[in-house]
Amino acid sequence: MNNLHHEIVMLLVQRKTSYANPMNSQQIGAALKVTPSYVRGQLAILVRKKLVEVRRGNGGGYYAGKGCGQKMMMNNMEQPLDKLGCTMEEMLEYLQLLEDGCKKIPAEFYTGKEIQAIESLLQIMEGLHGYQKLIKSAAVLLNIDASAALGEG
């Protein structure tokens, strides 16, 4: 989902749109400062994804789809995972491996310098399938730079 899709859905949620109270593409375009014709194209995509529903006919328009909040939340969670190049299932698997590995790391892991922490984690988890994704995941979660430990720039 791109930024405009997110903005459209958030607008529909914030305005408490419903079947009885939809917004048309002109209203959405004006609120987001985008042409109505472009908005209609983006709305068609959102309708296919079931994030937005449409009411046809006189007084019709678009409104937030059922469960769109949950879908938006899942999408927001998956975007950072896309940057890591792994799926939600892989992340859960890696997080379990990370948790198991961290149990073996001495207390210095939590007080030492960032790179030493990652190097310790890397030593413990060497040989694990996909350990580089695991290290990158850990670095994102711990908000630290793992590039040196992974030999990246």
Question: In terms of domains, do 63 and 17 share one?
Answer: yes
* Confidence (pLDDT) at 84: 62
106 and 65 belong to one structural domain: no
Question: Which of 69, 99, 127 delimits the end of a domain?
Answer: 69
Read off the pLDDT of each residue in 14-30 and give the average, rounded to a whole number: 83
62 belongs to a structural domain: yes
Structural domain count of the chain: 2
Is 151 inside a domain boundary? no
3-state secondary structure 69-112: HHHHHHHHHHHHHHHHCCCHHHHHHHHHHHHHHHCCCCCHHHHC
* 53 DSSP β-pair partners: 63
Domain boundary among 69, 103, 126: 69
Mean pLDDT of all residues in 126-134 = 60
- Asked if the structure places residue 100 within a domain, the reply is yes
pLDDT at 35 over 90: yes
Query: What pLDDT, on the 0 to 100 scale, is given for residue 123?
Result: 62
Residue 150 lies in a domain: no
For residue 4, pLDDT over 80 is answered with: yes
In a domain, 123, yes or no: yes
At how many degrees (to 10) do helices 88-102 and 114-125 cross? 100
63 and 94: one domain?
A: no
Cβ 140 vs Cβ 82: under 8 Å:
no
Residue span of the structural domain in which 122 resides? 85-142
Work out the average pLDDT over 44-52.
86
Residue 46 lies in a domain: yes
Identify the pLDDT of residue 63: 82
Half-sphere CA count of 18, side-chain side, radius 13 A: 2
- Highest averaged pLDDT of the listed ranges 30-34, 63-67, 84-88, 117-121: 30-34
Q: DSSP label at 65?
A: P
In this prediction, residue 79 carries a pLDDT of: 56
pTM above 0.95, yes or no: no
